[in-house]
């Protein structure tokens, strides 16, 4: 599946999910303030970019536009985090300082969390240092524990 096709399928689904998750963000004649939008998990960039008349509230068409924009922002952030996770994992797998298969990597909003068991403090520090050097990483949370590795070391 091409990236364009995947986006075409993903964006409407995210917009529907957001609409269901945000009962106050309706296009039935009511308006939504920025505070309501944020309380329901909306991105402020989507709100500000959709407030065409600049009155600080979204009405029908503006809400639809904001939902769509919000879904695209969230999809892009998710894809960016997945890409960052893949790059960090690759760096850890290809480096001899760290036993990459034993380190789990998750990313949320550019914050990479490393977990698992490593042999010693030096390996834990090396994993954090390598992760921090990857493009897209804003912060590294090193939750690695030092102990006996359960898997065999690479030759």
- Could you tell me what percent of the chain has a pLDDT over 70? 76
pLDDT digit string (tens) for the chain, length 155 residues: 566 665 566 666 555 555 555 544 444 558 899 999 999 889 899 999 999 999 999 988 889 899 988 888 888 777 888 999 999 999 999 988 888 888 999 999 889 999 999 999 999 999 999 999 998 899 999 999 998 655 544 44
**What ranges make up the beta strands (E) of 1-155?**
32-33, 57-58, 103-108, 111-118, 139-146
pLDDT the model gives residue 147: 86
């Amino acid at each position: 599946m091409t990236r364009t096709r995947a986006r075409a399928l993903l964006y409407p689904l995210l917009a529907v999910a957001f609409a269901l998750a945000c009962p106050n963000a309706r296009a039935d004649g009511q308006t939504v303030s920025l505070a309501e939008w944020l309380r329901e998990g909306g991105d402020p960039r989507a709100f500000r970019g959709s407030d065409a008349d600049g009155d600080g509230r979204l009405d029908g068409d503006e809400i639809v536009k904001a939902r769509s924009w919000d879904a695209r922002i969230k999809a892009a952030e998710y894809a960016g985090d997945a890409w960052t996770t893949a790059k960090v994992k690759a760096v850890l797998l290809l480096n001899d300082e760290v036993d990459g298969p034993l380190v789990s990597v998750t990313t949320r909003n550019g914050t990479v969390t490393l977990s698992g068991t490593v042999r010693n403090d030096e390996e834990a520090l090396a994993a954090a240092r390598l992760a921090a050097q990857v493009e897209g990483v804003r912060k590294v949370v090193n939750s690695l524990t030092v102990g006996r590795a359960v898997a065999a070391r690479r030759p």
